[in-house]
Amino acid sequence: MTKVKICGLMETQHVQAAVEAGVDAVGFLFAPSRRRVAIAQAKELARFVPEHVIKIGVFVNATQEEMERAFREVPLDFIQYHGDETVELIETVGLPSIKVLSVRGVDDVRNVRTVQSDYILFDTPGTEFRGGSGEVFDWSLLNGDLPRDRIILAGGLNAQNVKDAIRQVRPFMVDVSSGVEIDGRKDEALIREFIQAVKEEESIGWR
Ligand SMILES: O=C(O)c1ccccc1NCC(=O)[C@H](O)[C@H](O)COP(=O)(O)O
């Protein structure tokens, strides 16, 4: 059953819409981005997230201290490493982890099995910021031997293309940000539509 994450949440009503629609994970941005939130803001949003929904903090080349503080104060369940963080840093921090690999070509998906993190998120390389591009990458690059139960797929997903994405990539989880926004702001109807599309695709698997 493919899990679903809504990333870059900044407003209570959008967190609530995602939770009511059955989201599995929510992402808060602590990196340079138009979706960036302060720790105090994320802590307030987290009050509307039930225990069974995973809270993920997204960081780009942050210090260990910054990440530990957010993890403790929000509180978070996972750190998403969306920059150039080394294996050594991820190991030293020692918190549940998602390492992001920006996919430009076949070289970026080689040796994925050696990546030392709990989950691996494949995303389109960002332009202005490191993620949240709203652009799809070539999913056929993920056709090879991958640990599907650790793979999160992101990059330009929306309610229209997510079923194809799940059929082609068979990820553990799909992740969306731009595809559930209108004019740069999250939209409750689009959030519901996206989560519904993922759930419809799941139900096909049970027929
Ligand atoms: O979303 C951002 O603005 C962002 C900025 C810097 C680092 C990461 C960022 N997003 C992290 C995510 O997990 C997004 O959901 C992922 O990049 C997919 O975004 P989109 O293509 O907009 O659905």
* pLDDT-above-90 percentage for the chain: 88
Decide the pairing of beta strands 54-59 and 151-153: unpaired
CA of 206 to the centre of ligand 1 (A): 31
| Given the residues 107, 108, 123, 187, the one annotated as active site | 123
Decide the pairing of beta strands 97-102 and 119-123: parallel
105-145 pLDDT, tens digit each: 999 998 888 888 999 999 999 888 999 999 999 999 999 99
Q: Is the Cβ–Cβ distance between 205 and 163 less than 8 Å?
A: no
Active site residue 145: no
pLDDT at 207: 40
DSSP class of 36? B
Q: Which residues contact 43 (CB under 8 A, 6 or more apart)?
A: 73, 74
> Is 131 near ligand 1, meaning CB less than 6 Å away?
yes
Which domains are present in the chain?
3-205 (3.20.20.70)
Question: Which DSSP helix (H) or strand (E) runs through 18?
Answer: helix 12-21
Q: Give the Cα separation of 99 and 13 in Å (integer).
A: 29
The tokens describing 85, both together, are: 């963080």
> Is 57 near ligand 1, meaning CB less than 6 Å away?
no
DSSP class of 47? T
pLDDT exceeds cutoff 70 at 2: yes
Cα radius of gyration rounded to whole Å, the chain: 16
CA of 55 to the centre of ligand 1 (A): 15
Q: Give the Cα separation of 157 and 179 in Å (integer).
A: 6
Dihedral sign of CA atoms 182, 186, 192, 197 in order: positive
Q: Give the Cα separation of 68 and 71 in Å (integer).
A: 5
CA of 102 to the centre of ligand 1 (A): 11
The tokens describing 43, both together, are: 């802590």
> Is 83 near ligand 1, meaning CB less than 6 Å away?
no
| Given the residues 7, 108, 138, 149, the one annotated as active site | 7
> Is 157 near ligand 1, meaning CB less than 6 Å away?
yes
Active site residue 108: no
65-114 pLDDT, tens digit each: 999 999 999 999 999 999 999 999 999 999 999 999 999 999 999 888 88
Q: To which residue do tokens 């503080």 refer?
A: 69
Q: Give the Cα separation of 49 and 55 in Å (integer).
A: 8
